[in-house]
Structure 1
Amino acid sequence: MPDDAVLDTLKFGIGQPVLRTEDPKLLTGRGTYADDYSAEGQAYCAFLRSPIAHGNIAGIDISAAETADGVIAVITGQDLRDAGVKDIPCPISVKSRDGSAAVVPPRPAMAIGQVKHVGEPVAAVIAKTAAQARDAAELIVLDIEGLPSVSDPVAAEKDGAPQVWEQAPGNTCLDFQWGDDAAVEKAFSEAAHVTKVELTNTRVVVSAMEPRATVAEYDSAADKFTLHVGTQGVAGYRGAMCNMLRVEPENMRIISKEVGGSFGMKGSAFNEAIVVLHAARKFGRPVKWTADRSESFLSDHHGRAMTFELGLALDKDGNFLALRVDGVGDMGAYLTAMGPWPATMVTSRNIISVYKTPAISYNAKCIFTNTVPTGPYRGAGRPESKFFLERLIDKAAEEMGIDRIELRRRNLISPDMLPHETPVDLTYDSGEFETIMDMCLDRADYSGYAARKEASEIDGKIRGIGVAPYLETTAGPGTELADIRFEEDGSVTLVTGNKDFGMGHATPFAQVLSAQLGIPFEAINLVQYDSDEMSPGAGGSGGSRSMIAASGAIIECAETIVDNGKKLAGHFLEAAVEDIEFADGVFTVAGTDRNIGIMTLAEKARELSGTGDLPDDLSHKVNHNTAPISFPNGCHVAEVEIDPDTGVIGIDRYTVVDDFGVVVNPVIVEGQVHGGIAQGIGQVLAEDTIYDEDGQLVTGTYLDYQLPRADDIAHIEFTTHAVPCKTNPLGVKGCGEAGNGGSYPVIYNAIMDALNGNGGKELGIPATPQRIWQALQGN
């Protein structure tokens, strides 16, 4: 192996902690987010949004707005419909228990006839400046006849509740069931002990660093749109826009360069993008829209919002016999593309986690309310399931008088049980769950907890500890693009359908490609932002699928490149193809020192254009069928300290051990885990989206909606224990959402431990100082 190849492997190979190559650009303000782009002659868009939660639109008087300074036009929902713009697509494959389809109400880009939630767009102003557009929007006179509304999903399914949609009796979008109800009933009737708990995983505002923004352009000569927007996958977003505007993919270009966070929220098509696209074509000039933070609270889809009652049946020794889950998920006023999934398919398939559970009965209703629609938020059902389950296990341990670690240990799936078939039709292929739990307990100095608790008491504080093993699923199989291009300037372009919205794809994807083909790491450039570069097989990012999908596609593509390279190397080295070997970026004639490097070969191949049957380019593209679900898992241990005089809580220690299979870049993986943990801590301690009885958003600014601060997050002791996945070629498991999975239950259980179980009454989240103080007073 040449010396430079040795160095490249040592510095940039799989498993090396290579720093993110894109960070210098981002940290020096040279990134290009959607709002950073401006087109020559662009106009600006501002929206008038509904001020009430439910009502009939009696009239929209736009006359004053139309004549205001700088106004080009005012557009209503009816204008869009008259122009042939279709409703926002929502392909929902989840079925109700009786096999019927979900109720999918029409969702126009702007309201027509009725408004269904505060913040729903009703009209759009196109003006020469952003200020003129906003000022003119305030001149629109909106006449709405108010109707009764409902903002609580539990109340919404009760008899007599206001109806959000006539076609959804009881406000039920979907009545989902999974499992063996008869087996569960039998297990519960024969159980030595049954533990029950009811919990709400509160509605959250996504709070991405970058508000949503979009700039639309239309080239009338080419009949082609270009949309600059932050998204999780340009190919998928193109499909949604084409659907609504009734155009072909070649007539729509999506550009999404840097994206300042998404967490699931920017993965769906949104109202505003279709409005500016329509306006750009109709008025012959680019149109730009950028949300402000208050607008984001009312227009970005929200997350979580589930209330569930769980029951766990155990025998006299604490072995799990069956799990029963019943609850509701809040869909908001409309369905987003993935709206029903978290409360149905995702939570149901993740709630078994790492435990032997013979039977499950899972029942969830997806309920409409007069609130902002909900959708996937980092984990999208996975963290909710762990929050529910791990609290249930702690409570069972307390009720049965069994140590909570011991109760978990008795029920953990052991390595000799793998592959393990679960009652939710999943097959776990790999994992060492007890080993990881013990590693985490050891690194957390669990045995020394009693001494720390005593020290806290001497200091007048109350200490609690939580333990939370977890296992989650990643996104299911699909397709993914890998297009590897050897450029004339000596660089290599890698095109994938995945989309980096903060995760840092450029570095680990280059590490995988460099490892496969021996291409110099610094020569590789990742392209994910331009739909014109994408074939129909391009996927996107979501559900922690990026590395699994991209690495599989890169490896498949690289294998063909090696095969073609052997043919070319045989030609140039004057040897039979079967005598050519490839390793570390070099093609060698077996048993000799005659060789040629892959970069040199790519250059020489261009000399063969039109020569015989030999490929004249090493470049290759594949649409890869991605691997099945992987099962990242791990364990979190955390300690909290509470000031009994104020209820103020501090996280004193936090330890996590994760199994992500083969880790391509440990620095990036640790960063992903830290981010997920921070979001979990934020929801458990502070975040809560509150609507009043009239459907008004009470927590509509960051003065009212509390995000975690840096001093709320403890130092995180992190390590990995790799058990390679057996279902994808690199052996990787997704990591992007795993931090949430353990952080929700571990912090909440630590708080409940500090409160000595709170007399059997659940504190609920967010566990604010006021709630904690009231619990300590016995209220």
Structure 2
Amino acid sequence: MTDDAPTDPPDGGPDESSHLVGEGVARREDAALLTGDATFTDDVDAADLAYLTFVRSEEAHAEIESVDATAAASIDGVLAVYTWDDIAASDVPGVLPISTHGLDCDPPGHPVLARDRVRYQGQPIAAVVAEDRYRARDAADAVEVVSDPLPAVVDQREAQEPDAPTVYEDAPDNVAAVSELGNADATDEAVAAADRVVEVDLTNNRLIPNALEPRAAVARWDAGDERLTVEMTSQSPHGHRGKLSTTLGLPESDIRVVAPSVGGGFGHKGHHHPGEAAAAFAAMDLDRPVKWTATRSENYFAGAHGRDHRTRAELAVDDDGTIRGLRVETDADVGGYGLGGSLSMPGWYGSLLSSQYDVPAIHCETRAVFTNTTPIHSYRGAGRPEANYVAERLVGAAARELDFDPAELRRTNQITDFPHETAVGATYDSGDYELGLDEALDAAGWDDLRDRPNRDDEGRYLGVGLACYVESTGGGHESGVVRAHPDGTVTVYAGTHSHGQGHGTTYAQIVADELGIDYDDIDVNEGDSDATPTGTGTFGSRSTITGGNAVAESARAVREKARKFAANLLDAPEDAIEYEAGEFAAPEHTDDTCSFADVAEAAYGWGVPEGMDPGLEATTFFEQEDTAYTFGTHVVAVAVDPETGAVDIERYVALDDCGERVNPTIVEGQVEGGVAQGIGQARYEAAVYADDGTLQTDSMLDYAVPRSFHVPDIQTEATVTPSPTNDLGVKGIGEAGTIAAPPAVVNAVCDALEPLGIAHVDMPLTEERVWSAIRDAKE
């Protein structure tokens, strides 16, 4: 780890002319994905394969009286029907582990199959295993469940009322945890002393992840070795191995998790769910392979949802635009069960409430609240979009109240010195926020957009908005293995897992530069818990920082060991060896040279010097000690039709700074994908429950995922401020678009509707919702 931003490669590295890092190398992964040659979990086959289907609760809250599987078990081809009683009779714990750190209660973990009560619609009650998936589904329909309905609660604020139904007896007020960040007294003083206090009441809408591929698992049990192999849709194979170990009561060494090609994750495939655990339990019990593949509707009912915050917030600001303080109170819905760390996750979302601004005092109180809804966990951004939405809507509202240009109010309060510690304890590593703001405004033509009339020739209201953001990226440790083969080709293994991020390309670029060899001679492998000693996985915009630096450090170690072999081959002192473009030389001692391939061959054969171990590989455990903070500014121009409520995004400019960009083309793709999802939240997506806990948006007919024609052309711009937290100087970028887009779009629409006196419209800004706001304003 270095203290200063990196500029040149470490001593002894290949010269600058050989560098691929920073080039938009074409993604090597895409051919297989586009031609159908990639293998996804549901493509995995095995002899004697059986299929598992769940019987799911139709009620959101109920006591289970009985489960009768007699008719289902009699169907030809049905191999087993499991209920909680079968799990309880085994040696398997059967409960998905949760983190109880910081909780105000001690709720049980999510059972693989419901025990005595269901707490959300879609919770698995029984599992049917049959010789084909069709008979499994028929048998699931034949299982008879008798239950006693209980009152349900689906709103996190109503859940805290004295007469609300209780989800857990251990949490009678339905509050799992209360967390505080910042200084309440200092914030109270700032609010009292400010010239103005701007208030907002915001809903950060509940979202349903919609990856191309639903969750799936194929489990195999080797009775001879007593070892379980699970191929599954995973963002973190080692993480899932650990969670399966806890749920099944097996040592981690007896479990292998393999993630083949994964069709999108967005956080949803980083969590532990009943599906893969049930498939594994059935495979062990039946001693035959078992496959489970979720249907799209199952993903809606019982896959982890995201967001769902209700927030009251106040910004203390003086008339000259100086921000004095920020006070926030949030009720975060966590659904009917905890998943992993989901119950404590809302407690740290406020750590990014400063956004890009020097806010002297902040206080954030967050309550994580149980409801009878699908459990909530991290969804692309995981707390950062929620925090940034609060900050950027408040600053937007303050600019309106003070009659400030929104960009100038932001500039007035931007952080300029780094590192910078915020009032809630985050330490921003590096940045040039004003430069990013200026370049985004210039690219969008901000002054011209602000000078437009209120309405265009079609009578549509015109508006322009922006959102600055800061994203915490990286974190934790990661392993990277670099192994040179005798022919000079190289295999890279990493504990991360790519599900669209392009690690096979970026890691190869990094290693090619470090070793000075041909990019095409490098193969990158991820997704097998047996191939690397450990791995944290891919989420939280961490892969290039942790995985990239891990493989880079391993490549440097291989290069230095290769130098020793080269010294032996060239009969020259090690400190005389020079290395450039894949060739070792010692010009002061000999005219001979040797290639990296020559050295690799010698490392496995006759060229091993006395005292050195044969072979040419290295393993690194990289740990990021300090967080890297990506930042940027997004600008949006809209036109709003007052007759229909239709919102047309006419212009979208995204400026992002993720430090050094290993592959700018991949960075731009990540930004564009994130913006598309952010626009989805801002304009179309929301999971809606009826009062009895029935999910109303249970398919794409009712849950509006944006289509290609809903997403505008996105102009991507960049500044580059290397991070001092790691040798590559990189920061994460995977979630930037989901953080910046929602407030940018909402700010633009509110700007358009300002002539009507409309200060705020909650997401999603559907045509009906916008039209209703216009109608109400005119009445």
Does TM, normalized by the shorter one, top 0.5? Answer: yes
Q: For this structure pair, what is the TM-score category when the shorter chain's length is used for normalisation? A: over 0.9
Alignment map for 1:630-669 (pairs within 5 Å)? 630-669=628-667
Partner secondary structure for residue 413 of structure 1: coil
Match of 1:710 in 2: 708
Match for 1:281: what amino acid?
Answer: M
Q: Match for residue 561 of structure 2?
A: 564
Question: Which amino acid counterpart does residue 436 of structure 1 have in structure 2?
Answer: G
Classify 1:672/1:283 alpha carbon distance in 2 versus 1 (closer, same or farther; 3 Å).
same
**Equivalent position amino acid for 2:432 in 1:** E
Using the alignment, how far apart are the partners of 1:511 and 1:483 within structure 2? 15
1:363 matched to 2:365? The reply is yes
Aligned to 1:95: 102
Q: Could you tell me how far apart the structure 1 residues matched to 2:107 and 2:321 are? A: 43
Whichever residue aligns with residue 184 of structure 2, its letter is D
CA contact (8 A) 2:62 2:117 kept: yes
CA distance in 2, matches of 1:150, 1:371: 8
Cα distance in 2 for residues equivalent to 1:329 and 1:675: 26
Matched letter for residue 273 of structure 1: E
Report if the CA contact (8 A) 2:750-2:759 is conserved: no
1:618-767 equivalence runs, <5 A: 618-756=616-754, 759=757, 761-767=759-765
Determine if contact 2:97/2:247 at 8 Å carries over to the other structure. Answer: no
CA shift, 1:451, in A, is: 5.3
Amino acid aligned to 2:553: E
SS of the counterpart of 1:531? coil
1:715 Cα shift?
0.8
Work out which of the residue numbers 42, 45, 54 in structure 1 matches 2:49. 42
Match for residue 553 of structure 1? 550
SS of 2:703's equivalent in the other structure is: coil
Partner amino acid for 1:762? Answer: H
What is the rounded CA distance, in whole Å, between the counterparts of 2:756 and 2:355 in structure 1? 26
Alignment match of 1:514 (pick from 512, 515, 523): 512
Does the alignment pair 1:524 with 2:522? Answer: yes
- The residue aligned with 2:306 is 303
Match of 1:151 among 127, 150, 154: 154
Q: How is 1:381-420 mapped onto 2 (pairs within 5 angstroms)?
A: 381-414=383-416, 417-420=417-420
Secondary structure at the counterpart of residue 266 of structure 1:
helix
- The CA distance in 1 between the partners of 2:42 and 2:49, in whole Å, is 13
Within the candidate set 75, 82, 88, 1:68 is matched to 75
Provide, for residues 285-319 of structure 1, a one-character-per-residue CA deviation record: whole Å limited to 9, x for no partner: 11111111111111110001111111111123121
Match of 1:504 in 2: 502
- Trace 1:137-148 onto structure 2 (pairs within 5 A): 137-148=140-151
Task: Indicate the residue corresponding to 2:9 in structure 1.
Answer: none
Q: CA deviation at 1:704?
A: 0.7
Mean CA deviation greater in 309-318 or 594-603: 594-603
Q: Aligned pair count?
A: 764
Partner of 1:3: none
Paired residues of 2:659 and 2:731 also in contact (CA < 8 A) = yes
- How far did residue 339 of structure 1 move? 1.2
Task: Provide the residue aligned with 2:3 in structure 1.
Answer: none
Equivalent residue letter for 2:669: G
Alpha carbons 1:553, 1:626 under 8 Å: kept: no
Q: What CA distance in whole angstroms lies between the structure 2 residues aligned with 1:644 and 1:10?
A: 57
* Corresponding residue of 2:470: 471
Contact preservation (8 Å) 2:46, 2:289: yes
Q: CA deviation at 1:597?
A: 2.1
Give the C-alpha shift of residue 712 in structure 1. Answer: 1.1
String of CA shifts for 1:380-431, please: whole Å, max 9, x gaps: 11111111111111111111222222211110011xx212111122222211
1:189 corresponds to which residue?
192
- Distance of 2:353 and 2:124 partners within structure 1: 37
Would you say the 8 A contact 1:386–1:744 is kept in 2? no
- CA 1:47–1:558 in 2, change beyond 3 Å: closer, same or farther? same
**What amino acid sits opposite 2:77 in the alignment?**
G
User: Secondary structure of 1:199's match?
Assistant: strand
Post-superposition CA distance 1:607-649 (Å, at most 9, x none): 1487521231111112222342110001000101112211111
Query: What SS does the corresponding residue of 1:298 show, helix, strand or coil?
Result: helix
For structure 1, which segment, 731-740 or 608-617, has the greater mean C-alpha deviation from structure 2 after superposition?
Answer: 608-617
Match of 2:585 among 585, 588, 595: 588
How far is 1:56 from its partner? 0.8
**Whole-Å Cα distance in 2 between the matches of residues 566 and 603 of structure 1?**
13
Alignment match, 1:423: 423
- The 8 Å contact of residues 65 and 74 in structure 1, kept in 2 or not, is answered as yes
2:376 aligned to which of 374, 377, 393 = 374
Partner of 2:437: 437
Pick aligned residue for 2:770 from 765, 769, 772: 772
SS of the aligned residue for 2:272 comes to: coil
RMSD across aligned positions (CA): 1.8
Q: CA separation of 1:758/1:326 partners in 2, compared to 1, >3 Å: closer, same or farther?
A: farther
SS of the aligned residue for 1:276 comes to helix
Query: In percent, how many aligned pairs have the same letter?
Result: 37
**Residues 714 and 753 (structure 1), Cα distance of their counterparts in 2 relative to 1, 3 Å cut:** same
- Residue type at the aligned position of 1:221: G
Aligned partner of residue 53 in structure 2, secondary structure:
strand
Q: Is the contact between residue 88 and residue 269 of structure 1 (CA under 8 Å) also seen in structure 2?
A: no
Amino acid of the structure 2 residue aligned with 1:58: E
**Aligned mates of 1:124, 1:27 — CA distance in 2:** 34
TM-score with structure 1 setting the length: 0.95
Q: Does residue 352 of the first structure (1) align with residue 354 of the second (2)?
A: yes
SS at match of 2:410: helix
SS class of match (1:336): coil
Change (3 A) 1:24 1:31: same
Distance, in Å, in 1 between the alignment partners of 2:315 and 2:721 is 29
Q: 1:14 aligns with which of 16, 21, 34?
A: 21
CA contact (8 A) 1:92 1:102 kept: no
- Helix, strand or coil: the match of 2:157? helix
**Residue of structure 1 in register with 2:123 after alignment:** 120
CA distance in 2, matches of 1:262, 1:453: 43
Could you list the per-position Cα deviations for residues 16-42 of structure 1 after superposition, in whole angstroms to 9, with x for gaps in the alignment? 111110111110000111101011111
The CA deviation at 1:351 is 1.2
- The answer to whether the Cα contact below 8 Å between 2:568 and 2:607 also exists between their aligned partners in 1 is no
Q: Using the alignment, how far apart are the partners of 2:340 and 2:427 within structure 1? A: 27
Distance 2:745 2:91 in 1: 51
Matched-pair contact (CA < 8 Å) for 1:232–1:267:
yes
1:25 counterpart = 2:32: yes
1:91 is displaced (CA, Å) by: 4.3
- 2:276 is the alignment partner of 1:279: no
Query: Take 1:253 and 1:762, find their aligned partners in 2: how far apart are those partners?
Result: 51
Name the SS for the 1:692 alignment partner. Answer: coil
Q: Secondary structure, in 3 states, of the residue corresponding to 1:126? A: strand
Q: Distance in 1 between matches of 2:387 and 2:682?
A: 14
Shift of 1:158: 1.4
| 1:326-384 C-alpha deviation (Å, 9 max, x unpaired) | 01111000011131354221x21111111001111010000000010000000011111
Query: How far apart, CA to CA, are the structure 1 residues paired with 2:351 and 2:606?
Result: 53
Give the match for residue 202 of structure 1. 205
Aligned-partner Cα distance in 1 for 2:671–2:100: 31
2:575 alignment partner, one of 560, 573, 578: 578
CA 1:102–1:564 in structure 2 vs 1: closer, same or farther (change >3 Å)? farther
- Aligned residues of 2:471 and 2:630 also touching (Cα < 8 A): yes
Flag the 1:470–1:450 CA change in 2: closer, same or farther, 3 A: closer
Counterpart-to-counterpart distance in 2, 1:193 and 1:760: 20
Could you say what secondary structure the match of 2:473 adopts? coil
For 1:612, the aligned partner's letter is E
Equivalent-residue separation in structure 2 for 1:539 and 1:613 (angstroms): 35
Name structure 2 gaps, 5 residues minimum.
1-12
Aligned match of 1:135:
138
Match of 2:220 in 1: 217
Question: Aligned partners of 1:650 and 1:340: how far apart in 2?
Answer: 38
